[in-house]
Structure 1
Amino acid sequence: MSFKIAFIGAGSIGFTRGLLRDLLAVPEFNNIEVAFTDISSANLEMVTQLCQRDIDENGLDIKIHSTLNRREALRDAKYIFCVVRIGGLEAFQLDVDIPLKYGIDQCVGDTLCAGGIMYGQRGIAEMLEICKDIREVAAKDCLLLNYANPMAMLTWACNKYGGVNTIGLCHGVQGGHRQIAMAFGLEKEEVDIICAGINHQTWYISVKHKGEDLTGRMLEAFENHPEFSKTEKVRIDMMRRFGFYSTESNGHLSEYVPWYRKRPEEINDWIDLGKWINGETGGYLRVCTEGRNWFKTDFPNWMKEPAIEYKQENRGEEHGSYIVEALETGRTYRGHFNVVNNGVITNLPDDAIIEAPGYVDRNGINMPVVGDLPLGCAAVCNVSISVQRLAVEAAVHGDDTLLRQAMMMDPLVGAVCNPKEIWQMTDEMLVAQEKWLPQFTESIKKAKERLAAGNLLPTKDYQGAARLKVKSIEEMAQNKEDARKNAAESDKAKERPSAVK
C-alpha cells in the first residue's frame, strides 16, 4: 500500500512527530511517501532529523522529503495534515497583549474572542493560498486534515471558498471524556459518550456506563471531585446552568462566554493557577513559548535518546491516523469530527462547522444525524457561530466592517468593551499584524491614519488578572521532564488535574 502524505507546518514538533508515529504504526503503511514543509528552515531541519531517525531505527525504508517549497511537498499528496500557526508566536503575542490594553483578559485567544478572530484573519488568508496549491498539484481526491486553529473558521473557509474537502480535527472531546470517567472513578473505555456542538463548545449530551445513563449525575460527580471542583469551576457552573458538560477546558471556555472574565476583580474566583489551562492569563502563549525555547535548546539531547517505537500500543489519541487507516484499509473508526453541518445537528445552521460523532471506513467519513441539541446548549453555540460567520466573510473578502462586527458580537469582547473601544482596538490589531493580512491593505492604511490623528481613547497598562512570566531555560532545566513533555505534546494540557494547594 503506497500513497503520499504531506505535512504543512511540519516544524511543529508537538504534532508532526506524534502524528507520524501514529501513521507508521499501521502495518500497511510501511511503504508510504512522506513530505514535510514549513516556512522555517531551522524548525523543519530539526523535526526532519528527529523523525527520520525514528523511521530509520524502526527499520522502515521511508525517506522524508523535506522542503521549503510547499507546492513540491503537496504534489500528488492524497492526505494533507495542516498544523500551521500563521504569524507564529510573534503574532500570537499581539493577539493577547493588545486586547489586554482594553481590558480583555484571554487565557488562550486562538478560537474566539479578539485573539481568535484575528488569528482567523491571518489563517484564512493563508489557508486559501494553501487550498489553491492543493487544487493545482495534489491528488485529485485528496483530503485536508486540519489541526490548525481557529478550527471552525479555517475549516469553514476551506470548504466554502477553498474548494478542498477539509475535515477539522481536535483532541478536546477525548480530554473531556477522560475527565468524565475520572469523575466517576471509571476508565475511559468504560464510559460511552455522545458529544455534539461546535469545536471547543461541544456538549456531552449522553454519558453511559454499561447502559446506565450517568448524564443526570454529572454535576454532583464534578462538584464532589477533589480536583475538578477546584480546577473546572467555569465548566461546572456552565453545567449547573445549562445542564451539560462542555468539552473545553476551564480557561478556554471562560473566554468564549461573557460571564466569567469581564470583571478583573472576579476572574480569580473562576480560575486556578495549578495548570495554565485552568485559566491563566495568556497561559497558552506562555507554554508554547517555553516549549519552543526548550526544543531549540535541548534538541541535541533529543537526538541522543531512544527513537519512538512505531507500535500500536504507542499510538496517541489524535484522530488523523485512524481516519487515514479506516479510509485505506476499511477498518472502522469512530471519532468526533469537524465538518459542514448539513443537517447533522438540526438546530444549528447548515453552513456552520459542527463537531459531532462520525464513523470512517473504506466508503468515507459518515456523520449520523444527531438531531437537536438541548436548547440552551444550541443557543451558546449559535452566538459563537454568528461570530465565526462574520469573521470568515471578513477574512475572505478583506472587509474590515465585518471584522469589527465580529468583534462586537463576540461575547467577551462585547461584555468588556463599548463600540468605540472595539473600533480602536481593531485598528490597532490590524496595523500591528499588517504583514500577515494582505487582504486588508486599504483598511490598514485608513486605520493608520486614524491612529496617527490622535484623540485616541485611553487604554490600560494591564497585564491581566492572572499572568505568569515565561520561564527561562535555566528555570525549565530544573524540571527537564516537564519541559520535555511540554515541548513534545500537541495537547499541552493533557495532564489536566492540578490545583493550587
Structure 2
Amino acid sequence: MTVQNGLKVVTIGGGSSYTPELVEGFIKRYDTLPIRELWLVDIPEGEEKLNIVGELAKRMVKEAGLSIDIHLSLNREEALKDADFVTTQFRVGMLDARAKDERIPLKYDVIGQETNGPGGLFKGFRTIPVIIDIIKDMERLCPDAWLINFTNPAGMVTEAIYRHTNWKKVVGLCNVPIGMKMKVAKMMEVDADRIHIDFAGLNHMIFGLNVYLDGEPIIEKVIEEMTTGKGMTMENIANIEWDADFLKGLNLLPCPYHRYYYKTDEMLTEEKKEAEEKGTRAEVVQKLEEQLFELYKDETLREKPEQLEKRGGAYYSDAACNLINSIFNDTGDIQPVNTINQGAIASIPTDSAVEVNCIITKNGPKPIAIGDFPVTVRGLVQQIKSFERVAAEAAVTGDYNQALVAMTINPLVPSDKIAKEILDEMFEAHKDYLPQFKKPTNV
C-alpha cells in the first residue's frame, strides 16, 4: 500500500458510542499510522449521534495536536471514494431491534442474545444484505481498500462475504480474544505483553488451546485459577462460575460466550431474571448510551471517557487499530482475526471463515495452522459453523426454509417446532428490515 499524503479511513456506523475508542486508537498510533482523513458515516436516523460523537472526535484530535481531518457524512458514496480502509460498526434497526432479538426468544425459554442463538441469526439476516451493498459501493469507489468489519455477528458476516461476493480484502474483528488475554494477564498479575494465547475457533466460539507466560505453557495454572472463582467475562455476559471439574476436563480456555452453550440453563435463568428486573441487555445499553452521549456533548471533554468500558467496548481500539496498523506497515505480528480458514483448522472447510491466530501482512492475514481441535469441542464448533453457513445462505437468498433450518440447527434452540414459532414471530417483528424474505404461502 503506497500512501503519499496519509491514509483515508471511512467508518460506517460512525455515530456509534464506540467511535471514541477508535479515534483514541488512531491518535495513539499516528506516528506509524498517518491518517489524513477520517470519515464518520451514518444514516439519517443516526444523524444526531453522529454529530455529537463527531464533534468529540474533532476535540480529541485537536487536543492531541494532530492534523487529521474529521468529516461527518450521511452520504456513503461521497465518503467511500478513494478510501484506504473501510471499517464497519453499524446496527441495522438500532438498539430497538436488538431488544426484540433478546426478548422474543425468552418467551419460548430460549436464550435471547444479540450474536448467539435466534438473536444472532436475525442480526445476521438484517446485516448481511447491507454489508453486501457496501461492498458493491467499494468495488466502484475504492477497489483497493481493506474492509475491516466489527459488525456482529462478525463470523457469519465474514462467511457471507467470502461465499457471496468476490471481495477478498476483508478481515473480521472481535475484541473477545484481546479481552481474554488481558484478563489472563490480570489473573497472573503480569503485563499483558508477557502472555501469549494460541487462539482458534469461530467468532464468539473461540478457545485458547494453549496459554504461555514468557514462552512457558501455563494453561493448567490458568484453569486452576479459574476454578477458584476467578472466571473471565464481559460487561454483557453474566459472570456465572464454571464447574471446576468440567474446566479441568476441557483443559482449554473457554471464551465468555461459551457459557451460553455449556451453562445454558443457568444463563437462561439469569437472563430472564435480568430482563424482568432491569430489562434486556439492549434496554440497559440504551440507558448507558444516553449517559455516554450526554458526556460526549460536554465541550470540555477531549478524551474517551472511562464509562465507555461499561458498554462492553474494552480493548476495542487496540484490536481495531492494531490490525489496521499491521496491514499498513506489513508488521508480520500475530493477531486473532476472522479470515478464510485455508486449512488452518482441519475439521473446518478450507473456504469457511474462522477466528484464529494469524500473521498480519500487507496482503492480509495468514492463518497459523493448529491441526485440529480436541474431540471434546470439535463437534460444537462444527455445529456452529453449519449454523453460520446456512444462515448466511438464507440471508442472501431470502429462503424461508433455509432460515428455519438455520434456526433449528443452532444448539440453543431445542426443536424445529419452537424454532418455527420463534422464527415467525421474529420475522414479523423485523419485517421492515428483511425485504429479502417472503414466507412460502404453503407454510
TM-score band, normalised by shorter chain: 0.7 to 0.9
Residue 253 (str. 1) matches residue 255 (str. 2):
no
Residue 76 (str. 1) matches residue 82 (str. 2):
yes
Residue 119 (str. 1) matches residue 123 (str. 2):
yes
Residue 220 of structure 1 and its aligned partner are, at CA, apart by 1.9
Choose from 408, 418, 421 the match for 1:421: 418
In 2, Cα distance between the equivalents of 1:234 and 1:420? Answer: 31
2:185 match: 181
- Checking the alignment, whether the CA contact within 8 Å between 2:102 and 2:280 is kept in structure 1 is no
Choose from 295, 299, 315 the match for 2:296: 299
In 2, Cα distance between the equivalents of 1:28 and 1:188? Answer: 22
Residue 156 (str. 1) matches residue 159 (str. 2):
yes
- Checking the alignment, whether the CA contact within 8 Å between 1:177 and 1:188 is kept in structure 2 is yes
- Checking the alignment, whether the CA contact within 8 Å between 2:21 and 2:317 is kept in structure 1 is no
1:398 match: 398
- Checking the alignment, whether the CA contact within 8 Å between 2:357 and 2:368 is kept in structure 1 is yes
Residue 37 of structure 1 and its aligned partner are, at CA, apart by 0.6
* Shift in CA distance, 237/231, structure 1 to aligned 2, threshold 3 Å: farther
Residue 145 (str. 1) matches residue 135 (str. 2):
no
* Shift in CA distance, 241/380, structure 1 to aligned 2, threshold 3 Å: farther
* Shift in CA distance, 5/378, structure 1 to aligned 2, threshold 3 Å: same
Residue 119 of structure 1 and its aligned partner are, at CA, apart by 0.6
Superposed, 1:101-120 pairs within 5 Å as 101-106=107-112, 109-120=113-124
* Shift in CA distance, 81/232, structure 1 to aligned 2, threshold 3 Å: same
In 1, Cα distance between the equivalents of 2:294 and 2:393? Answer: 41
* Shift in CA distance, 198/238, structure 1 to aligned 2, threshold 3 Å: farther
- Checking the alignment, whether the CA contact within 8 Å between 2:96 and 2:282 is kept in structure 1 is no
In 2, Cα distance between the equivalents of 1:2 and 1:63? Answer: 11
In 1, Cα distance between the equivalents of 2:190 and 2:67? Answer: 42
* Shift in CA distance, 317/126, structure 1 to aligned 2, threshold 3 Å: closer
Residue 81 of structure 1 and its aligned partner are, at CA, apart by 0.6
Residue 160 of structure 1 and its aligned partner are, at CA, apart by 2.0
1:43 match: 49
Choose from 13, 16, 20 the match for 1:17: 20
Residue 124 of structure 1 and its aligned partner are, at CA, apart by 0.7
- Checking the alignment, whether the CA contact within 8 Å between 2:201 and 2:356 is kept in structure 1 is yes
Choose from 269, 277, 294 the match for 1:267: 269
1:466 match: none
Counterpart AA for 1:203: F
In 2, Cα distance between the equivalents of 1:179 and 1:31? Answer: 31
Residue 3 (str. 1) matches residue 7 (str. 2):
yes
In 1, Cα distance between the equivalents of 2:59 and 2:69? Answer: 10
Residue 318 (str. 1) matches residue 318 (str. 2):
yes
Residue 76 of structure 1 and its aligned partner are, at CA, apart by 1.0
Structure 2 residue matching 1:208: 3-state secondary structure: strand
Counterpart AA for 2:300: K
- Checking the alignment, whether the CA contact within 8 Å between 1:104 and 1:262 is kept in structure 2 is no
In 2, Cα distance between the equivalents of 1:338 and 1:87? Answer: 24
1:215 match: 219
Residue 32 (str. 1) matches residue 40 (str. 2):
no
Residue 400 of structure 1 and its aligned partner are, at CA, apart by 0.9
2:389 match: 389
Counterpart AA for 1:8: I
- Checking the alignment, whether the CA contact within 8 Å between 1:4 and 1:76 is kept in structure 2 is yes
2:338 match: 338
Choose from 127, 135, 138 the match for 1:131: 135
- Checking the alignment, whether the CA contact within 8 Å between 2:124 and 2:392 is kept in structure 1 is yes
Alpha-carbon displacement from aligned partner over 1:249-299 (angstroms, at most 9, x marks no partner): 2xx3232x2x533479x835xx999xx8xxx99753244212222134343
Alpha-carbon displacement from aligned partner over 1:185-204 (angstroms, at most 9, x marks no partner): 43322222211111111111
In 2, Cα distance between the equivalents of 1:131 and 1:263? Answer: 40
Counterpart AA for 2:374: P
In 2, Cα distance between the equivalents of 1:210 and 1:238? Answer: 27
Unaligned runs of at least 5 residues, structure 2: 306-314
* Shift in CA distance, 31/431, structure 1 to aligned 2, threshold 3 Å: closer
Could you state the TM-score of these two structures normalised by the residue count of structure 1?
0.77
Counterpart AA for 2:375: L
Counterpart AA for 1:359: I
Residue 225 of structure 1 and its aligned partner are, at CA, apart by 4.2
Residue 428 of structure 1 and its aligned partner are, at CA, apart by 1.1
Counterpart AA for 1:23: F
State the Cα RMSD in Å.
2.9
Superposed, 1:424-439 pairs within 5 Å as 424-439=421-436
* Shift in CA distance, 236/359, structure 1 to aligned 2, threshold 3 Å: farther
Q: State the aligned residue count.
A: 421
In 2, Cα distance between the equivalents of 1:118 and 1:176? Answer: 27
2:66 match: 60
Counterpart AA for 2:144: D
* Shift in CA distance, 24/391, structure 1 to aligned 2, threshold 3 Å: same
Could you state the TM-score of these two structures normalised by the residue count of structure 2?
0.87
Counterpart AA for 1:376: T
Alpha-carbon displacement from aligned partner over 1:109-146 (angstroms, at most 9, x marks no partner): 122201000111001121111111111112x2211000
Residue 105 of structure 1 and its aligned partner are, at CA, apart by 3.0
Residue 36 of structure 1 and its aligned partner are, at CA, apart by 1.3
In 1, Cα distance between the equivalents of 2:441 and 2:285? Answer: 33
- Checking the alignment, whether the CA contact within 8 Å between 2:33 and 2:328 is kept in structure 1 is no
- Checking the alignment, whether the CA contact within 8 Å between 1:17 and 1:47 is kept in structure 2 is yes
* Shift in CA distance, 70/238, structure 1 to aligned 2, threshold 3 Å: farther
Counterpart AA for 2:301: E
In 1, Cα distance between the equivalents of 2:279 and 2:366? Answer: 37
* Shift in CA distance, 427/225, structure 1 to aligned 2, threshold 3 Å: closer
In 2, Cα distance between the equivalents of 1:176 and 1:227? Answer: 10
Counterpart AA for 1:398: G
Residue 352 of structure 1 and its aligned partner are, at CA, apart by 2.2
> What fraction of aligned residue pairs are identical, expressed as a percent?
26
1:348 match: 348
